[in-house]
């Protein structure tokens, strides 16, 4: 009985060793896969970064365009609204006309 018990214990210990070895092999394989995946991902990183540069420039350009558009529209619309609400033959209208003509001429002359 003692021999049978020792054999059973030895078989249980061997099964535990095999189970532990199997778990260790699975863990090692998972770590190799993770390292391989990380290496492939890191190799593609420079291309991703170089693609992000033009995207960021385009986004910034669109934001600047939209901001400029809204500001200029608001200024011009407000000015035209005020000008159209004033009587045509008034000192204010003559001042706007003369000031605009002078500004246009100064701009064409370069300052």
Q: Give the Cβ contact number of residue 13 at 10 Å.
A: 10
Mean pLDDT of 30-53: 70
Mean pLDDT of 18-29: 69
Which residue has tokens 């991703």? 48
Residues in CB range of 96: below 8 A, 6 or more apart:
83
Mean pLDDT of 22-39: 71
CA angle 100–68–77, rounded 5-degree value: 50
Give the start-to-end residue ranges of the domains of the chain.
2-109
Tokens coding 45: 């990183």
Rounded to whole angstroms, the Cα distance separating 42 from 37 reads: 9
Going by pLDDT thresholds of 50, 70 and 90, the confidence category of residue 15 is low
Going by pLDDT thresholds of 50, 70 and 90, the confidence category of residue 46 is confident
Rounded to whole angstroms, the Cα distance separating 102 from 94 reads: 12
Reported as a single tens digit per residue, the pLDDT across 83-100 is 788 787 888 888 888 998
Which residue has tokens 């991902």? 41
């Amino acid at each position: 009985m003692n021999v049978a018990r020792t054999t059973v214990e030895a078989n249980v210990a061997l099964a535990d060793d095999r189970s532990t070895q199997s778990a260790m092999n699975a863990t090692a394989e998972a770590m190799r896969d993770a390292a391989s995946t990380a290496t492939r991902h890191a190799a593609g990183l420079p291309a991703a970064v170089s693609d992000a540069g033009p995207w960021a420039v385009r986004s910034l350009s669109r934001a600047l365009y939209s901001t400029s558009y809204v500001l200029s529209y608001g200024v011009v619309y407000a000015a035209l609204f005020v000008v159209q609400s004033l009587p045509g033959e008034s000192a204010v209208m003559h001042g706007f006309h003369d000031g605009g003509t002078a500004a246009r001429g100064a701009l064409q002359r370069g300052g």
